Amino acid sequence: MLLNRLLLLLVLAGLAVPATAQESVATPSTATETAQPVILPGGRLEEIDGMPVVFLYGSAKERAFAEGFLLVDHFIDIFENFALSGSIVPIPGLWDMVIKPATHNRFDLEQFRPHAKAVLEGAEKARGGPIRIKKLKRNLDEEDLMTCICIPDLAGLLCSSFSAWGALTAGDNVLVGRNLDYMSTDAFTKNIMVKVHAPLGKRRGWVSVGWPGLPGCVTGISDAGVFVAIHDVRVRSEKGDGKYTPRMAALKELVETLTPAADTGEAAARILRQHRYGFGGNAMVAWQGEKARGAAVLEFDGRKSRDGGATARGPEKGVPFVACSNHHRLRSKRGHGCNRFEKLMAGPDRGQEKPLDFDAGWRLISRSSVRMTLYRTMADLGSGRLEIDRKTGKRSRSYAPRVRLNVKDVLSRAKPLEVASQR
């Protein structure tokens, strides 16, 4: 296992960068505020049901600076105690010797430099000077942050999800459940958080569930009612020209640009085909708008000779239900023998009366939860209702008290203080 990981490190590598904020305080309406908001021109940090929630708005630079300032303790904890831990690198020194140079050589990361620079400026402002990384015997730099976005492309693990709509759900809303499964440390589980991104230019506002310092999307819901979640698949890339795109960055493109329509699944696949990937991926994409709702599994990798590198798989036999895990079944004749996929495709509990509600959805997604499940989400794309379970520690089998919030509500409060106070 250690040797395989080391070989992967020679090929890929990564970590990431944060986003920003401005100045605004508001009281959560659908969740319990358990701590005084921390406010900064550029953003604010709150706590809802025991989970950190950072609101980000303003310019791209303001967002990045604010996230660096507000979340410095969180992402430095993750960097030192996850990125530099045995879960990612067998020896911390390999970060400088192998991971950073290999990652910057193979991935298109310069696009993230302005973001990384502003995040670092915010973090250093909060700490009162350069941030010393003891394990590396040097200060944290921009390249460290730029590298981090690629960690999911170092080695893939599990993840699973389902989407149901139409006759299967109450009020004909789209219900989406999701397990995020990955290698972990106590620091990684402790720092799971919600980030609320205000719209920026033509980019949609969205809510992400993940970690600070990572500008991409692992689980996100947009203000247009589009849900996106990453899953890993062990599919190698074909030889080709150009650098790789971190998968989290490609999925961020989806959640920030897609609009619910009859062809949303295929529209997402077209966006994914514009990039090269060093590691395979499945993504659940679900959507609900005034005139269109549905879901599809996006299966994408670096094999451009197959459908341009991405396909969209919709529901089977017209049943408004799709499931996603790591099977990548349209792109591999043998499949991966994924029993979690089979459990999800079996649908709701036997005897479960329609419609499929939140309680039934939680039972369904729990079937495919595993020891490495770090968090689980359940969302109603129509109402904006979102619930989150997160693991309490690396070796723990229990989850913290469930977090409950509303996507539409928190997005409406992603504003400067003066604006929010006039509501």
Residues 6 or more apart whose Cβ sits within 8 Å of residue 22: 40, 41, 42, 43, 57, 58, 62, 63, 66, 415, 416
Task: Encode pLDDT of 10-36 as tens digits.
Answer: 333 332 323 333 222 333 333 444 456
Q: In 10 A of CB 417, how many CB atoms?
A: 16
Q: In the prediction, which pLDDT does 340 show?
A: 80
32 alpha-carbon distance from chain centroid: 23
Structure tokens at 118: 């502003």
Those residues of the chain that have pLDDT short of 70 are 1-37, 329-337, 349-353, 417-423
Burial of 201 (0-12, 13-18, 19+ CB in 10 A): exposed
Q: Please, what sign has the CA dihedral across residues 183, 273, 196, 126?
A: positive
- In order of their start, the domains of the chain are 2-23+56-152 (no CATH), 156-418 (3.60.60.10)
What pLDDT, on a 0 to 100 scale, did the predictor assign at position 345?
82
Report pLDDT digits (tens) over 33-60: 445 667 777 789 999 999 999 999 999 9
Whole-angstrom Cα Rg for the chain: 20
CA-CA-CA-CA dihedral for 271, 272, 276, 279, to nearest 10: 160
Q: What is the predicted pLDDT for the residue at 9?
A: 39
Rounded Cα gap, residues 423 and 420, in angstroms: 6
Whole-model pTM: value is 0.89
Token reading at 405: 């919030």
**pLDDT for 242:** 87
CA 228 distance to own-chain centroid:
8
